[in-house]
């Protein structure tokens, strides 16, 4: 499925085709039509201190402490990090390692709260009534303190992104409502039901970014969400906001792909959207910003799509962070009998998890309970036949098979030359590979290897310098010792030849007696 | 006959002139910036562990450059390093060397501080100054600087230094290699 099979542009604004991509069966109707359900309050929440890209937050509470909903429990550390807030009120029952949703399956530091059932709000963070009067710098730190991170799946701290965009001198805010991965409908539901919140969030972000133009991008296959956003924009009567639609193509929702579709400009290799004048924020992130400003509530909940043929009543739920996945599934009517696999994220970019006891974190946009039929039969991997289908669908314009061969050969240096790090791991190459080679898995593996090789090289350089310093120092010490020794010997020889030998001996005897 | 003599003389003259120019260039012009030993040193892993039998990476690089040492004596560098060196120096690819093939997981030295008597022997042995302490004071290892070379273990009179695997947690986690593809040309090693 190449560019030729795409539907023709039907909207007036000029657009450019994105490279590669796929038209995938959407499977969105399963979860789309129900309204967002407010999930019931969990009895216990488990909140990992790292739910974002960057440094883990530092816990500021101890076991036994009483906390209120929205209270800071772990504070951001360093430049790139995100704070964590209590998502229910109650008592801290545990601060320590617990299973977290991560592809490694390794435990992470978590804070567990036992609910008191009252959900008492913390009065610490107060609403901002008149944000335009607020200094953009103060607004950015407000967003940072609320623990808001990119809710589209990258979980990059929002305030850091704004700051970087501002220093790069960007001109346009791009609100990303193009939810391109199959099955996931949480953004569509949010846009349909809370369009005002998104628009207000976009206006606040414009103020924080100090720019005057905002593009809100949606896919064409979500008419109800489109209508709601359109209505909200005209209600706001804000000339800075602009709505555009993009074709329903996976992965048109990737920020780099979206920018390419809207401007024809490619984000340079190794670069970021702000290099071409954009900062991209997900619709849910904008809504979270609006919520913080208007109600004072930090990021303590998110909308999660609980879907797949493995759950009885798939739908979208607003869930407090830290809620066990099992409780979500229970509120969607439980599992069907033929459920086979639990996936966090969508079918293309998500990862399978071993247990439904794992908590919902800021990154969890979708819980996909797949049946055997949905997974399909496990296909045997066959040798690469160099057909080139992967290169045709790659949205990043890479050569997937070439990368694959280099990785197989352990030649990581060459994969870097073939721009491995521009791979967005969308999975299009996997999908079309007639030999069913798990290509993205190879790329993820190689990225990890290259990162640790780079780290080793850095460490080696440091070790080399330290070793050189040490040998130089040792050499200097030895020389100093030798010359001192030589000086003393010379002094003794001079004294002996000059006839003053007796004086020296007497002085030594006096010293010895004195010391006694 | 005369023509031959002229040719021989002319060629000899040209040869002498060029020889003189070359010898002048060799003595006057600066040598190439990276000597072969420097290039070898840059390829070595810089753990300064002395497992090759030389007191550090640079001495080993010098020994390889003079032809004194083999290229396959560096365990931290492993087979990859042997390949790189063989390629660089045009030497035969040897993988039978004393120390190639065993790739151990990264380790760091840990001093059991309750047993340390403060003798400073380990500090002197450490090639990268990764041990801090003072005479008759407890010593400790700076984990981020330790290269895991084990040179401090032997000098310790009370055996209180242990090599421990590096605990790196989730941030240091690497994906395992994808499973090899069964059958077909992959097995043929292409």
Instruction: Please write the tens of the pLDDT for every residue from A445-497.
Output: 999 889 888 888 888 888 888 988 998 999 999 999 999 999 988 888 887 77
A402: tokens are 């070439």
Strand order in the sheet with A366-371: A37-38, A315-320, A301-307, A366-371, A339-344, A351-353
What's the helix, strand, coil split of chain A in %, to 5?
A: 40, 20, 40
Note whether A469 contacts B127, CB cutoff 8 Å: no
Q: Residue A363's pLDDT is what?
A: 93
The chain B residue lying nearest A97, using CA atoms, is B169
Q: Residue A3's pLDDT is what?
A: 40
Cis omega (within 30 of 0) for bond into A488: no
Which of A449, A451, A463 is closest, CB to CB, to B48?
A463
Q: Mean of the pLDDT values across residues A143-151?
A: 94
A183/A315 Cα distance (integer angstroms)? 11
Among the residues of chain B, which ranges form H helices? 2-28, 36-43, 57-65, 78-89, 121-125
Distance from CA of A481 to the nearest CA of B (A): 16
Q: Which residues of B touch A471 (CB under 8 A)?
A: 56
Q: Mean of the pLDDT values across residues B90-110?
A: 71
> Distances in Å between the alpha carbon of A400 and those of A441, A451, A453, A481, B189?
12, 19, 22, 62, 20
Note whether B127 contacts A444, CB cutoff 8 Å: no
Q: Which residues of A touch B178 (CB under 8 A)?
A: 438, 441-442, 445
pLDDT digits (tens, 9 = 90+) for A125-137: 889 888 999 999 9
The chain A residue lying nearest B169, using CA atoms, is A106
Q: Residue B172's pLDDT is what?
A: 66
Q: Could you tell me whether strands A278-282 and A172-177 are parallel, antiparallel, or unpaired per DSSP bridges?
A: parallel
Interface A-B, measured as beta-carbon pairs within 8 A, has a size of 78
Q: Residue B187's pLDDT is what?
A: 36
A254/A179 Cα distance (integer angstroms)? 9
Note whether B57 contacts A467, CB cutoff 8 Å: yes
Which of B175, B181, B182 is closest, CB to CB, to A445?
B175
A132/A359 Cα distance (integer angstroms)? 36
Answer whether A102's CB lies under 8 Å from B170's CB: yes
Is the pLDDT at A440 greater than 50? The verdict is: yes
pLDDT digits (tens, 9 = 90+) for A339-349: 999 999 999 99
Which of B127, B175, B181 is closest, CB to CB, to A470?
B127
In chain A, what are the domains?
1-33+127-296 (3.40.50.11540), 379-486 (no CATH)
Task: Characterise A322 by phi-psi region: left (phi > 0), alpha (psi -120 to 50), beta (else).
Answer: left
Q: Which residues of B touch A103 (CB under 8 A)?
A: 175
Note whether A383 contacts B184, CB cutoff 8 Å: yes
The residues on B that touch A, with CB distances below 8 Å, are: 41, 45-48, 56-58, 126-130, 145, 147, 169-170, 172-179, 181-186
Note whether A464 contacts B129, CB cutoff 8 Å: no
Residues 6+ apart with CB under 8 A from A88: A41, A42, A45, A69, A113, A115, A119, A320, A322
Residue A310 DSSP label: T
Q: Mean of the pLDDT values across residues B122-144?
A: 90
Note whether B183 contacts A382, CB cutoff 8 Å: yes
Which of B129, B175, B186 is closest, CB to CB, to A448?
B175
Using a 10 angstrom Cβ sphere, with 0-12 exposed, 13-18 middle and 19 or more buried, the burial of residue A88 is: buried
Q: Which residues of A touch B84 (CB under 8 A)?
A: none
Q: Mean of the pLDDT values across residues A20-38?
A: 89
Residue of B50, B57, B77, B170 to mutate when probing chain A, most A C-beta within 10 A: B170
Is the pLDDT at B104 greater than 70? The verdict is: no
In chain B, what are the domains?
36-89 (1.10.15.40), 105-167 (3.30.70.20)
> Distances in Å between the alpha carbon of A305 and those of A178, A217, A226, A364?
15, 20, 19, 9
Using a 10 angstrom Cβ sphere, with 0-12 exposed, 13-18 middle and 19 or more buried, the burial of residue B103 is: exposed
Which of A104, A382, A466 is closest, CB to CB, to B170?
A104
Residue A134 DSSP label: S
Q: Residue B96's pLDDT is what?
A: 64
The chain A residue lying nearest B149, using CA atoms, is A463
Which of B130, B181, B185 is closest, CB to CB, to A437?
B181
Residue of A98, A401, A450, A460 to mutate when probing chain B, most B C-beta within 10 A: A460
Answer whether A297's CB lies under 8 Å from A326's CB: no
> Distances in Å between the alpha carbon of B175 and those of A78, A219, A420, A448, A477?
26, 34, 16, 7, 47
Answer whether A394's CB lies under 8 Å from A4's CB: no
* pLDDT confidence bin for A499, thresholds 50/70/90: low
pLDDT digits (tens, 9 = 90+) for A290-335: 999 999 999 999 999 999 999 999 999 999 999 999 999 999 999 9
Residue of A459, A465, A475 to mutate when probing chain B, most B C-beta within 10 A: A459
pLDDT digits (tens, 9 = 90+) for A80-99: 999 999 999 999 999 999 99
Residue of A351, A434, A463 to mutate when probing chain B, most B C-beta within 10 A: A463
Which of A103, A380, A466 is closest, CB to CB, to B129?
A466
Q: Which percentage of chain B shows pLDDT scores above 90? A: 26
Q: Residue A464's pLDDT is what?
A: 86
The residues on A that touch B, with CB distances below 8 Å, are: 50, 102-104, 106, 108, 380-383, 408, 437-438, 441-442, 444-445, 448-449, 451-452, 456, 459-464, 466-471
A227: tokens are 């209508």
Q: Which residues of A touch B185 (CB under 8 A)?
A: 383
Q: Residue A467's pLDDT is what?
A: 87
The chain B residue lying nearest A451, using CA atoms, is B174
Note whether A106 contacts B175, CB cutoff 8 Å: no
Distance from CA of A107 to the nearest CA of B (A): 8
Q: Which residues of A touch B130 (CB under 8 A)?
A: 466
* pLDDT confidence bin for B169, thresholds 50/70/90: low
Q: Residue A12's pLDDT is what?
A: 47
* pLDDT confidence bin for A5, thresholds 50/70/90: very low
Query: Could you report the predicted ipTM of this complex, rounded to two decimals?
Result: 0.70
Note whether B181 contacts A459, CB cutoff 8 Å: no
Q: Which residues of A touch B58 (CB under 8 A)?
A: 467-468
Note whether B145 contacts A463, CB cutoff 8 Å: yes
Q: Mean of the pLDDT values across residues A270-285?
A: 92
Task: Characterise A75 by phi-psi region: left (phi > 0), alpha (psi -120 to 50), beta (else).
Answer: beta
Distance from CA of A49 to the nearest CA of B (A): 13
Residue A398: name the closest of A437, A361, A365, A428 by CA: A428
Residue of B42, B43, B45, B46 to mutate when probing chain A, most A C-beta within 10 A: B46
A310/A337 Cα distance (integer angstroms)? 8
Q: What are the residues facing A67 on neighbouring strands? A: A90
> Distances in Å between the alpha carbon of B134 and those of A27, A470, B1, B12, B131?
68, 17, 87, 70, 10
The chain A residue lying nearest B174, using CA atoms, is A448
Q: Residue B28's pLDDT is what?
A: 83
Note whether B186 contacts A449, CB cutoff 8 Å: no
The chain B residue lying nearest A438, using CA atoms, is B178
């Amino acid at each position: 499925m190449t560019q030729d099979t795409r539907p023709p542009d039907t909207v007036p604004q000029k657009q450019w085709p994105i490279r590669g991509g796929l038209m995938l069966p959407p499977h969105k109707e399963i979860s789309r039509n129900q309204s967002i359900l407010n999930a019931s309050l969990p009895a216990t929440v488990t909140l990992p201190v790292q739910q974002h890209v960057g440094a883990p937050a530092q816990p500021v509470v101890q076991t036994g402490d009483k906390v209120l909903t929205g209270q800071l429990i772990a504070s951001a550390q360093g430049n790139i990090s995100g704070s964590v807030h209590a998502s229910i009120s109650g008592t801290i029952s545990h601060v320590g390692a617990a299973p977290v949703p991560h592809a490694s399956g390794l435990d992470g530091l978590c804070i567990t709260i036992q609910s008191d059932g009252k959900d008492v709000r913390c009065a610490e963070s107060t609403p901002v009534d008149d944000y335009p009067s607020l200094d953009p710098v103060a607004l950015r730190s407000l967003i940072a303190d609320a623990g808001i991170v990119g809710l589209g799946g990258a979980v990059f701290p929002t305030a850091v992104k704004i700051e970087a965009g501002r220093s790069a001198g960007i001109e346009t805010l791009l609100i990303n409502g193009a939810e391109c991965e199959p099955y996931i409908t949480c953004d569509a539901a949010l846009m349909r039901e809370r369009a005002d919140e998104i628009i207000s969030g976009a206006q606040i972000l414009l103020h924080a970014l100090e720019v005057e133009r905002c593009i809100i991008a949606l896919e064409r296959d979500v008419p109800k969400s489109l209508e709601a956003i359109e209505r909200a924009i005209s209600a706001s009567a804000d000339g800075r906001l602009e709505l555009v639609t993009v074709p329903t193509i996976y992965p048109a929702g990737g920020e780099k792909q979206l920018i390419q579709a809207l401007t024809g400009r490619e984000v340079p290799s190794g670069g970021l959207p702000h290099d071409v004048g954009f900062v991209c924020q997900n619709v849910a992130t904008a809504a979270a910003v609006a919520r913080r400003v208007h109600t004072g509530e930090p990021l303590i909940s998110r909308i999660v799509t609980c879907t797949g043929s493995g759950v009885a009543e798939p739908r979208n739920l607003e869930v407090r962070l830290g809620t066990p996945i099992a409780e979500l599934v229970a509120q969607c009517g439980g599992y069907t009998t033929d459920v086979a696999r639990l996936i966090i994220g969508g079918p293309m970019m998500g990862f399978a998890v071993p247990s439904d006891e794992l908590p919902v974190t800021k990154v969890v946009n979708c819980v996909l309970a797949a049946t055997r039929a949905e997974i399909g039969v496990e296909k045997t991997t066959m040798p690469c036949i160099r057909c080139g289908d992967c290169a045709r669908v790659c949205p990043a314009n890479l050569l997937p098979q070439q990368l694959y061969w280099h990785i197989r050969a352990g030649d990581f240096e060459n994969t870097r030359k073939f721009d491995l790090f521009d791979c967005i791991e969308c999975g299009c190459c996997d999908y079309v590979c007639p030999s069913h080679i798990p290509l993205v898995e190879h790329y993820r593996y190689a990225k990890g290897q290259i990162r640790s090789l780079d780290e080793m090289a850095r460490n080696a350089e440091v070790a080399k310098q330290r070793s050189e310093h040490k040998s130089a120092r040792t050499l200097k010490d030895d020389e100093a010792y030798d010359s001192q020794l030589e000086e003393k010997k010379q002094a003794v020889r001079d004294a002996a030849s000059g006839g003053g030998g007796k004086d020296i001996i007497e002085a030594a005897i006096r010293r010895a007696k004195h010391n006694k | 006959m005369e023509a031959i003599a002229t040719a021989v003389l002319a060629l000899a003259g040209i040869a002498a002139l060029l020889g003189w120019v070359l010898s002048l260039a060799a003595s006057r012009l600066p040598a190439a910036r990276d000597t072969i030993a420097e290039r070898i040193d840059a390829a070595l892993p810089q753990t300064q562990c002395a497992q090759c039998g030389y007191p550090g990476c640079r001495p080993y690089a010098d020994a390889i450059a003079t032809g004194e040492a083999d290229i396959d004596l560096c365990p931290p560098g492993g087979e990859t390093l042997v390949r790189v060196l063989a390629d660089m120096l045009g030497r035969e690819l040897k993988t039978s060397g004393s120390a190639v093939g065993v790739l151990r997981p990264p380790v760091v030295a840990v001093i059991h501080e309750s047993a340390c008597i403060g003798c400073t022997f380990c500090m002197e042995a450490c090639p990268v100054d990764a041990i801090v302490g003072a005479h008759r004071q407890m010593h400790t290892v700076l984990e981020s600087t330790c290269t895991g070379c084990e040179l401090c273990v032997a000098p310790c009179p009370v055996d209180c230094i242990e090599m421990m695997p590096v605990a790196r947690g989730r941030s240091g986690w690497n994906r395992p290699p994808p499973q090899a593809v069964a059958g077909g040309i992959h097995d043929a090693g292409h």
